[in-house]
A and B are shown apart, each in its own frame.
Chain A
Amino acid sequence: MTKTEFLQELKQRIQEYPVEETEKSMEYYAEMIDDRMEDGMTEAEAIASLGSVEQIAEQIKCELPITTLVKQKTKEKTQGKRMPVWAIILLIVGFPLWGSVLIMILAFIIVFYALIWVADIMLWCNVVCMGAMSFAGIIGFFGCLFQGAFGSALLYLGMSLFMGGVGVLAFLGSLLVTKGIFRGTRWCFLQIKKALIRKEEA
């Protein structure tokens, strides 16, 4: 193997890495061969003493920072993933089909999410209703008291207190549910974000 052949082969093995790295490595090994020949070795001897090109290339790659390697990997992937023309045409022609399906799925998700909020709003309506009933019970209680109907007054008072108690419980429950929905929404967004980041990194 001659010096040119050696360098050519080395270049082929590491050329996918940054040009600067490749050039520096080539210069280094060219200089090594020259210095050995100057020291009295023949060209073939000098090259043989360097070891196999494979090993040298492997070593150079191992020393590259991991970020360079990852960058290289993603570059390879995106380059390999370029969509063929027919796929793009199919995508455009098929839009009425996959577009409507996509819109439907999105609509489903939105409606489902809206329903959760509607249920929550209903819970709060209940709370308001119970509050109103409790208030009405108090009014009934005083009304009956002034009219002298003590039995009815007592019944109103009991109803009012009962509704008030249930109302407070319903209020606490609704608060929990609402907080839960908020937390769930945030969690969903976080998951979507994570999925996106993972996709970018891959």
Chain B
Amino acid sequence: MDIQLKRGMLDICVLSALLREDSYGYKIIKDLQPFVAISESTLYPILRRLEGAGALNVYSAEHNGRLRKYYAITPVGRERIQEFLNEWKGMLAIYEYIEGEMKNHD
């Protein structure tokens, strides 16, 4: 898959993993596992980038006697997901058209 496309998609995947509840690095990876294999070293820059863009907030909370970083989605992050969905709606229409043409003229 196109690298730029995949990169943008991973950002959205990570943001979506935060919709249900605030999450932490390892849990995000595990939650996304069935859909996309994402490694720790891939996730790290994505989190930093999203934090820098204001799409998520980071806070530390105690867990088992150590601090763990939790990530919370912001309105900006939600907007990003919505944008992604809108964009892909258009993409899907194009996909269906291409698919239909291919079937009709095979």
Binding site for B on A (CB under 8 A): 24-25, 27-29, 31-32, 34-36, 38-39, 50-51, 55-56, 59-60, 62-63
Interface pair B44/A60, CB less than 8 Å apart = yes
Give the number of residue pairs across the A-B interface with Cβ within 8 Å. Answer: 47
Other-chain residue from A32, A59, A62 in contact with B25 (beta carbon distance below 8 A):
A32
User: How many Å lie between the Cα of A153 and that of B27 in the bound state?
Assistant: 110
User: How many Å lie between the Cα of A24 and that of B67 in the bound state?
Assistant: 13
What's the minimum C-beta distance from A20 to chain B, rounded to whole angstroms?
Answer: 11
| Complex contacts, B49 vs chain A, CB 8 Å | 63
Interface pair A27/B69, CB less than 8 Å apart = yes
Interface pair A50/B44, CB less than 8 Å apart = no
User: How many Å lie between the Cα of A156 and that of B102 in the bound state?
Assistant: 97
What's the minimum C-beta distance from B38 to chain A, rounded to whole angstroms?
Answer: 12
| Complex contacts, B26 vs chain A, CB 8 Å | 31-32, 35-36, 39
**Number of B interface residues, CB 8 Å?**
16
Other-chain residue from B39, B42, B45, B68 in contact with A31 (beta carbon distance below 8 A):
B68
User: How many Å lie between the Cα of A39 and that of B41 in the bound state?
Assistant: 19
User: How many Å lie between the Cα of A60 and that of B68 in the bound state?
Assistant: 20
What's the minimum C-beta distance from B21 to chain A, rounded to whole angstroms?
Answer: 16
For this complex, 7 residue pairs linking A to B, each with C-beta atoms less than 8 Å apart, are: A29-B40, A31-B66, A32-B40, A34-B66, A51-B40, A63-B44, A63-B49
Interface pair B44/A28, CB less than 8 Å apart = yes
User: How many Å lie between the Cα of A25 and that of B44 in the bound state?
Assistant: 8
